[in-house]
Amino acid sequence: MKRLLLVACVLATTACSSLPQVQPWQKGNLAKPEMAFDSDPLDTRFMDHTYFSKEGASGGAGVGGGGCGCN
Amino acid sequence: MRASMIVIAVSAMLAGNVFAQEVGKSAPSFDVPGASANVRLADLKGKVVYVDFWASWCSPCKQSFPWMNDMQAKYGARGLQIVGITVDRKREDAEKFLASTPARFMVGFDTTGKVAEAYKPKGMPTSYLIGADGVVRAMHVGFKDSDRAELEREIEAALTAAKR
């Protein structure tokens, strides 16, 4: 019984891996502006500037591209 | 028994993997609604077809449109047909994009995603250059200014090969 429970637990950890992935051509909703982490680019720049000035390390914040896989 | 369980577990983990349309294989046929009549790959037999998957929400796609208009104008007489297939779920979204970014080539509306499912483009935009023999000659993901020369060279090569 205990072993069965263990097997069930282990299998449950991989359960989501069999879900279909969002394909590049299905990313229309993800590309909407309201889906972005930063709603105001100017405000984000300002916050970033404060952040890296405080940390003494510029760069490393964010990556290029909007998830379309074209960079 | 244990081995077979491992095999099942591993295959379950890999189930989501996809295999893109390969260069050198025959291009999957499609039949989608167009601006007026349906756009079918079968109707373009004997032509060099440049299939471009685009979406209204993809900004590099917007940059590629003027270039594709130029290519259609320059090589259309030599047997090139550019087909822009939009993967937008709503046709209105694509129409709105086309109103501000005119396309002077064939446009197909793949609102069901069936064509994209067959070609499995790895990003937006992705283009496939299909030779006159119906075989995919080249595949290109993304669109940058620096890609233009290379893409044009491939189109010219395909047109030259079609003549022979």
Are the beta carbons of A24 and B121 separated by less than 8 Å?
Answer: yes
Closest by CA to B107, choosing from B121, B97, B122, B117, is B97
End-to-end CA distance of chain B: 58
Count of domains for chain B: 1
Q: What is the pTM (predicted TM-score) of this model?
A: 0.76
Task: Using alpha carbons, list the distances in angstroms from residue A57 to A42, A61, B136.
Answer: 20, 10, 47
DSSP tag of B138: E
End-to-end CA distance of chain A: 51
Residue B126's closest chain A neighbor by CA? A70
Instruction: Tell me the pLDDT tens digit for each residue of B109-152.
Output: 999 999 999 999 999 999 999 999 999 999 999 999 999 999 99
In a domain, B34, yes or no: yes
In a domain, B120, yes or no: yes
% pLDDT > 90, chain A: 8
Q: B138 and B147 in contact (C-beta within 8 Å)?
A: no
Q: Is the pLDDT of residue A63 over 60?
A: no
In a domain, B12, yes or no: no
pLDDT score of B63: 93
pLDDT score of A67: 57
Are the beta carbons of A28 and B53 separated by less than 8 Å?
Answer: no
Q: How many cross-chain Cβ pairs, A to B, lie less than 8 Å apart? A: 66
CATH of the domain at B106: 3.40.30.10
Residue range(s) defining the domain that contains residue B113:
25-163
Q: Give A32's pLDDT tier (boundaries 50, 70, 90).
A: confident
Contact residues of B toward A, CB < 8 A: 9, 12-13, 15-16, 18, 53, 55-60, 87-89, 93, 113, 116, 120-126, 141-143
Identity of the residue in A17, A25, A71 whose CB atom sits nearest the CB atom of B87: A25
pLDDT score of B44: 94
Measured distance CA(B161)–CA(B164) in Å, rounded = 6
Contact residues of A toward B, CB < 8 A: 11, 14, 17-21, 23-28, 31-32, 66, 68-71
In a domain, B19, yes or no: no
The stretch B70-81 carries a mean pLDDT of 96
Measured distance CA(A6)–CA(A1) in Å, rounded = 9
In a domain, B131, yes or no: yes
In a domain, B68, yes or no: yes
DSSP tag of A61: S
In a domain, B5, yes or no: no
